[in-house]
Amino acid sequence: MNMQAIIISVTVIAVLGLILGIFLGIAAKAFYVKTDPREEQIVEALPGNNCGGCGYPGCSGLAAAIVKGEAQVGGCPVGGSAVAAKVAAIMGVEAEDQERMTAFVKCIGDCDKASKDYEYTGEQDCRMAAMLPGGGDKSCAYGCLGYGSCVSACPFDAIHVVNGIAVVDKDACKACGKCIEACPKKIIEMIPYDAVYVVGCSSKDKGADVMKKCKAGCIGCSLCKKNCPEDAVEINDLLAHIDQAKCVSCGTCAEKCPKKVIINH
């Protein structure tokens, strides 16, 4: 290859690069989407976990939704009241008081209390185990399988399997809801961080069937409901549930529960 050919090649490449650069510059201006500067400020104020607990694709998604008025300034469950106050200041509005929430696994049927129909030796994942006959190896079709799908899903290391059931560390929990999504049994719910008494069962079976399967199952006897002075206990589908908005933490329901499934949280 002679010198003239080399010069021509270099010149062609340079011209093509220049043309491409000009085209990209024009395209960038033509398709530029102006963003509200508050979005960047809100992103900086958010924790940056990008956990999706707010229902949007990461912190930037939530920031955009807040600026558009599609999400509340307190939309970040991880940041809580402190972050809500910062975002509210950016948006020039008042932040509403936020109650701290935490996840709770509605099952205390651990290895010592719940019976099993067979031994599961497959992949240690609740979603896989739930596909087996009976919805898993536990006799109770509603109980925590204890294979850690929620543990893997939690971005804050706030939930662990202890003696066969998942247990939430409420101080580490940020209420992002990832564990709720991951649980195939749908027995994890959000409750107030300050809740004192909770029902540690999700079974909807009749009392006699519950007692055959688990030593710590709600039998729907209604003693908790009948004795609650604040009418804070409901019985739905043979299962007790405490309305935390009405509960005054007197402990009467826990005292009257014959199966001791109402526990101190």
Q: Once rounded to an integer, what is the mean pLDDT over residues 39-60?
A: 87
Could you tell me which of 236, 239, 205, 202 has the C-alpha nearest to residue 220?
239
- Comparing 195 with 57, the larger pLDDT belongs to 195
pLDDT range class, residue 117, cuts 50, 70, 90: very high
* 188-192/239-242 β-pairing: unpaired
User: 16-20, 58-62, 65-69, 236-240: lowest mean pLDDT where?
Assistant: 16-20
- Residue 112 CA to residue 78 CA, distance in Å, equals 34
Contact 153, 51 (CB under 8 A): no
Tell me whether residue 62 is exposed, middle or buried, using C-beta atoms within 10 angstroms of its C-beta: 0 to 12, 13 to 18, 19 or more.
buried
Q: What angle do CA 166, 171, 176 make, to 5 degrees?
A: 70
Could you tell me which residues come within 8 angstroms of residue 95 by beta carbon, excluding any fewer than 6 positions away? 73, 74, 81, 84, 85, 87, 88
146-163 pLDDT, tens digit per residue, is 999 999 999 999 999 999
pLDDT range class, residue 36, cuts 50, 70, 90: confident
Residue intervals of the chain classified under CATH 3.30.70.20 are 101-264
Could you tell me which of 219, 217, 122, 136 has the C-alpha nearest to residue 183?
136
pLDDT of residue 11: 80
Residue intervals of the chain classified under CATH 1.10.15.40 are 37-91
What average pLDDT does the chain have? 90
CB atoms within 10 A of CB 102: 20
pLDDT range class, residue 8, cuts 50, 70, 90: confident
Q: Once rounded to an integer, what is the mean pLDDT over residues 123-143?
A: 94
Q: What percentage of residues in the chain have a pLDDT greater than 70?
A: 96
- Residue 2 CA to residue 4 CA, distance in Å, equals 6
Pick the CATH number of 101-264 from 3.30.70.120, 3.40.50.720, 3.40.50.1580, 3.30.70.20: 3.30.70.20
Contact 181, 81 (CB under 8 A): no
Please give the DSSP secondary-structure letter assigned to residue 18: H
- Tokens at residue 252, please? 């009467």
Sign of torsion over alpha carbons 165, 137, 205, 259: negative
Task: State in words which class domain 37-91 has.
Answer: mainly alpha
* 239-242/262-264 β-pairing: unpaired
Sign of torsion over alpha carbons 120, 123, 129, 131: negative
Is 187 a residue whose pLDDT tops 70? yes
pLDDT of residue 2: 66
- Residue 54 CA to residue 46 CA, distance in Å, equals 11
Could you tell me which residues come within 8 angstroms of residue 209 by beta carbon, excluding any fewer than 6 positions away? none
